């Protein structure tokens, strides 16, 4: 597949390229539920003292991905519902938990390959590995048909891929070697932005020595950093086996786990957006109190989003700490006033995908976005903007109509499964239809129906075999 | 403005459910959101949206039509104004009544239909016919199908088609010789009292006797025709604006005009005596107006880009066939109607090809 669609929104509030370390707070709130994980199996008890890297909880639905303790502290399960609260914190690493005895046991039992995978899973590196097509965590014991390592991230207001890469280039290449050691002969694709800079040349120079790394140059246009789009571009099919997608921080976590046998406990996230007091990249432990971030970096009357502005989820007051899979916290200011005759204004200050505003005569400029929908919900007029912007090559307007008709078979036939949930269709729609939300819900419904159908088929098969046995 | 906003805030509860005037909530909402940008906030991702909305989108079409309105004022006089007002009033009334019955918000589509409709009528059409045609077009062409976004046909064309079939005599004798000089007919009001004196035929009718000069037809000078279609120059001004704003799809326009000109040129090659040159037909009648403003209606044309090419070629070929080989001198109206009928089928064809390509992914 050729790259198609996509759109770079020009925005104000980019986080820039510097990374700031944050001091340990007094208390940490580790959310048990996050966008992709649900740590429902608790491993720590109320009042227990835990050390750096101890397992606090596990996600039984996701290959027992652990929730690790970022520091030494005392567990409090009652302070905030839905969270593990850590108090009396200290980051004295001498107390840290070592896996030594256990590791030797595992080594004897599973061999060195098994040991590596065990380390990755239990040292918190595995949660960075994603299945390219489904976005789920792959089975740590499986072998993929290929691995895609992406060095960049394009969604507005998230930390750029090169921020970490610049600081840890050596660790990154070592991580790639570790990643390769997990594979037999399968290739690693390194997705790299199509830009010319000294840094890019330096990385290319470093990579040239590795015959098993294939460089893929990708245009800098959102959302071409999506693993699904890159795999489709390379021609890797979902049906022929799993494809792992790993970001820079994933490679660094793998390096940390396999070289130093140390858990990856800190997250590099962006705190940015048009509603942020200042846009920065922060390195902080998971569970860092959100109220602190909101007070320090968020403007009044702005909403906080876990993730980027296009695909993130709203951070309500129930969520008290930075989730484990957080990639950035985006602040978007609330729309307060209502513009008089807004639709008639020439629109010099409005960036639009269409050319219906006079801003299209000006050169590019960043606009301060707000969370206003900027219009009313209307029936689809088939203007075709969603299809133009769609990077997956599907027809969002037609899918919307089929969902409206509740025709699930046709929705599947029109390949809703290829949707990468980039949010561009909802962003550009002049009728203000929540296309991405509808597609997300529909995909869930289809998944559920398939599960039910599979369960029924299994039941019938069991019945048949039972009657045959009789 | 703050005072007005406060008034709106104060009276809005009356129109909410259970309020005294809840029945006409769509009308109130339309007025409020006409004056002030809607206050809705994004509740789910993406948390920020593009500033383009349907109001703006439709406004672009209206701006694109303005050069044609100005030209028609110059050529055919002040009568254009009451025609537009009558058309807006009847079209708007039908739309509002249906929105209230359906309890759905008023869609902005009628703003375009209400302006296009008088522009495709002969200049001396009686006002009651304008009202009747517009009401019929909006009702049968749009509301019956479920309102904006669900209509199969372009409502303005349905209205005109109805008038042509119901009142053929009036529709074919309401032509007016356009004004010229500095003021044109800007200061005149052509009414049924003085219409007889200046009735003239359109170039397509006169073509039976001899061809009109092409440069005149480009500018619209001395050419009779429907209000908006006479001056190709003005249509180009507005039409190219629409193409630049991406509101009208260039594929439709290029394929209609291209296929019509090429087809006619081939006919002209075969028999220059009987068939006019290709470029002549481009400037004659409603071909250009229809291609820029009516066939590009996104709702009634195919939704895919490949489909738009097929749709445009179909319309271009049919219009030349009707003009040359049927009893009608002008065929744009029927060509677009036929194109509208074919649009869903064309879409189905494109979908099936695309889905076959996607199957391998």
pLDDT tens digits for A441-469?
999 999 999 999 999 999 999 988 888 77
Residue A231 has pLDDT above 80, yes or no: yes
Distance in angstroms (rounded) separating the CA atoms of residues A136 and A447: 13
Residue B150 CB neighbour total at 10 angstroms: 15
Out of A427, A432, A437, whose CB is closest to B53? A432
pLDDT tens-digit map of A267-287: 899 999 888 888 899 999 889
Check CB contact under 8 Å for A374 and B304: no
Q: Does the CB of B247 have a partner CB in chain A at under 8 Å?
A: yes
- Is B47 a member of any domain? no
Domain check: are B186 and B322 in the same one? yes
Is cis: bond before B254, omega within 30 of 0? no
Check CB contact under 8 Å for A356 and B33: no
**Contact residues, chain A, for B109 at CB < 8 Å:** 381
Element of type H or E holding B7: helix B2-15
**Contact residues, chain A, for B34 at CB < 8 Å:** 341
User: What pLDDT, on the 0 to 100 scale, is given for residue A93?
Assistant: 64
Whole-number Cα distances in Å, A128 to A17, A123, A152, A283: 21, 11, 15, 16
Give CA torsion, residues A443, A447, A448, A449, to 10 deg.
100
Q: Does the CB of A339 have a partner CB in chain B at under 8 Å?
A: yes
Q: What is the mean pLDDT of each run of 10 residues along chain B (361 residues)?
A: 81 79 81 84 88 90 93 87 94 91 86 92 90 94 87 93 90 76 71 56 62 70 78 91 92 95 93 85 87 93 93 95 86 92 94 89 73
Check CB contact under 8 Å for A395 and B351: yes
Distance in angstroms (rounded) separating the CA atoms of residues B259 and B264: 8
**Burial of A153 by CB count in 10 Å (0-12 exposed, 13-18 middle, 19+ buried)?**
buried
Residue A181 has pLDDT above 60, yes or no: yes
Q: Report domain extents, chain A.
A: 27-267, 374-470
Check CB contact under 8 Å for B47 and A314: yes
Q: What is the CATH number of the domain that holds B100?
A: 1.10.3430
User: What pLDDT, on the 0 to 100 scale, is given for residue A108?
Assistant: 74
Query: Which pTM was predicted?
Result: 0.90
Residue A205 has pLDDT above 90, yes or no: no
Residue A210 has pLDDT above 90, yes or no: no
Partners of A107 in beta bridges: none
Question: Which of A28-42, A338-352, A406-420, B183-197 shows the lowest mean pLDDT across its residues?
Answer: B183-197
- As a whole number, the mean pLDDT across chain A is 87
Check CB contact under 8 Å for B107 and A378: yes
Q: Does the CB of B154 have a partner CB in chain A at under 8 Å?
A: no
- Looking only at the bridges linking them, the beta strands covering A266-272 and A243-247 are unpaired
**Contact residues, chain A, for B358 at CB < 8 Å:** 393-394, 415, 418
User: Domain residues for B13?
Assistant: 2-35
Check CB contact under 8 Å for A395 and B38: no
User: What pLDDT, on the 0 to 100 scale, is given for residue B276?
Assistant: 85
Residue A396 has pLDDT above 70, yes or no: yes
Q: Min CA distance, B243 vs chain A (Å)? A: 10
Residue A350 has pLDDT above 70, yes or no: yes
Check CB contact under 8 Å for A371 and B41: yes
User: What pLDDT, on the 0 to 100 scale, is given for residue B313?
Assistant: 96
Report how many Cβ contacts below 8 Å link chain A to chain B.
204
- Is B197 a member of any domain? yes
- Is B359 a member of any domain? no
Out of A310, A371, A382, whose CB is closest to B303? A382
B-proximal residues of A, 370-399, CB under 8 Å: 370-385, 387, 393-395, 397-398
Domain check: are B92 and B203 in the same one? yes
Domain check: are B163 and B23 in the same one? no
Domain check: are B15 and B108 in the same one? no
Q: Min CA distance, B96 vs chain A (Å)? A: 15
Q: Does the CB of A369 have a partner CB in chain B at under 8 Å?
A: yes
**Contact residues, chain A, for B26 at CB < 8 Å:** none
User: What pLDDT, on the 0 to 100 scale, is given for residue B241?
Assistant: 93
Domain check: are B246 and B109 in the same one? yes
- Number of domains, chain B: 2
Question: Which of A69-83, A232-246, A364-378, B152-166 shows the lowest mean pLDDT across its residues?
Answer: A364-378
Average pLDDT in the A331-336 region? 88
Q: Min CA distance, B237 vs chain A (Å)? A: 16
Domain check: are B24 and B128 in the same one? no
């Amino acid at each position: 597949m050729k790259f198609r669609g996509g759109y770079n929104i020009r925005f104000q509030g980019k986080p820039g390229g510097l990374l700031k370390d944050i001091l340990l707070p007094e208390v940490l709130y580790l959310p048990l539920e996050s966008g992709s994980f649900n740590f429902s199996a608790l491993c720590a008890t109320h009042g227990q003292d835990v050390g750096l890297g101890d397992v606090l909880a596990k996600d039984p639905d996701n290959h027992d991905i652990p929730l690790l303790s970022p520091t030494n502290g005392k567990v409090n399960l009652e302070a905030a519902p839905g969270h593990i609260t850590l108090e009396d914190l200290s980051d004295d690493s001498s107390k840290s938990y070592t896996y030594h005895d256990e590791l030797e046991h595992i080594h004897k039992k599973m061999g060195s390959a098994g040991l590596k995978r065990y380390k990755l899973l239990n040292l918190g590196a595995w949660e960075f590995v994603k299945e390219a097509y489904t976005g789920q965590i792959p089975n740590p014991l499986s072998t993929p048909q290929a691995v895609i390592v992406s060095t960049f991230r394009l969604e507005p207001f998230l930390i750029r891929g090169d921020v970490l890469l610049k600081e840890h280039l050596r660790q990154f290449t070592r991580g790639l070697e570790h990643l390769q050691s997990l594979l037999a002969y399968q290739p690693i694709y390194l997705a790299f932005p199509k830009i010319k800079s000294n840094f890019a040349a330096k990385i290319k120079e470093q990579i040239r020595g590795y015959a098993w790394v294939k460089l893929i140059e990708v245009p800098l246009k959102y959302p071409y950093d999506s693993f699904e789009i890159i795999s489709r571009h390379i021609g890797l099919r979902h049906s022929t086996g799993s494809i792992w997608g790993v970001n820079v921080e994933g490679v660094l976590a793998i390096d940390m786990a396999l070289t130093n046998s140390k858990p990856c406990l800190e997250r590099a996230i962006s705190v940015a957006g048009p509603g942020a007091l200042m846009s920065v990249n922060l390195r902080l432990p998971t569970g860092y109190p959100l109220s602190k971030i909101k007070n320090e970096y968020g403007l009044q009357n702005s909403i906080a989003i876990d993730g980027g502005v296009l695909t993130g989820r709203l951070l309500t007051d129930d969520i008290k700490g930075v989730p484990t899979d957080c990639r950035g916290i985006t602040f978007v200011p609330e729309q307060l006033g209502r513009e008089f005759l807004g639709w008639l204004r020439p629109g010099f200050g409005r960036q639009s995908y269409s050319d219906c505003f006079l801003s299209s005569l000006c050169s590019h400029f960043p606009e301060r976005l707000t969370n206003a929908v900027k219009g009313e919900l209307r029936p689809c007029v088939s203007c075709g903007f969603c299809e133009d912007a769609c990077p997956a090559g599907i027809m969002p307007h037609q899918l919307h109509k089929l969902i409206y008709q509740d025709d699930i078979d046709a929705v599947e036939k029109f390949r809703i499964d290829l949707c990468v949930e980039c949010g561009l269709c909802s962003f550009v729609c002049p009728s203000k239809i929540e296309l991405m939300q509808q597609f997300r819900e529909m995909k869930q419904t289809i998944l559920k129906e398939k599960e039910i159908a599979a369960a029924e088929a299994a039941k019938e098969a069991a019945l048949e075999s039972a009657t045959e046995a009789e | 403005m703050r005072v007005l906003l406060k008034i709106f805030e104060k009276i809005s509860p009356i129109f909410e459910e259970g309020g005294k005037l809840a029945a006409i909530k769509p009308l109130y909402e339309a007025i409020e959101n006409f004056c002030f940008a809607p206050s809705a906030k994004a509740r789910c991702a993406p948390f920020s949206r593009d500033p383009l909305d349907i109001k703006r989108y439709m406004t672009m079409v209206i701006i694109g039509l303005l050069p044609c309105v100005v030209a028609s004022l110059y050529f055919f006089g002040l009568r254009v104004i009451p025609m537009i007002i009558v058309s807006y009033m009847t079209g708007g009334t039908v739309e509002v009544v249906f929105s209230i019955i359906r309890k759905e918000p008023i869609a902005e589509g009628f703003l375009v239909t209400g302006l296009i409709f008088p522009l495709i009528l002969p200049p001396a059409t009686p006002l009651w016919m304008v009202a009747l045609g517009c009401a019929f077009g909006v009702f049968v062409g749009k509301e019956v199908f479920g309102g904006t976004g669900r209509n199969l046909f372009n409502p303005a064309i349905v209205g005109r088609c109805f008038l042509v079939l119901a009142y053929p005599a009036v529709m074919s004798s309401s032509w007016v010789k356009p004004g010229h000089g500095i003021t044109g007919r800007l200061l005149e009001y052509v009414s049924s009292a003085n219409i007889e004196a200046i009735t003239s035929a359109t170039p397509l009718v006169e073509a039976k006797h001899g061809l009109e000069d092409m440069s005149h037809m480009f500018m619209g000078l001395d050419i009779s025709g429907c209000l908006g279609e006479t001056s190709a120059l003005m249509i180009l001004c507005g039409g190219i604006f629409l193409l630049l704003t991406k509101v009208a799809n260039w594929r439709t326009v290029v394929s209609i005009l291209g296929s019509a000109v090429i087809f006619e040129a081939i006919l002209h090659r075969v028999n220059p005596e009987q068939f006019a040159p290709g470029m002549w037909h481009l400037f004659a009648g409603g071909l250009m107006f229809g291609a820029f403003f009516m066939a590009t209606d996104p709702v009634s044309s195919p939704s895919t880009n490949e489909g738009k090419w097929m749709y445009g070629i179909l319309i271009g070929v049919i219009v030349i066939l009707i003009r040359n080989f049927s009893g009608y001198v002008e065929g744009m109206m029927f060509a677009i109607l036929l194109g509208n009928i074919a649009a869903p089928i064309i879409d189905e064809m494109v979908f099936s090809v695309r889905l076959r390509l996607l199957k391998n992914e």
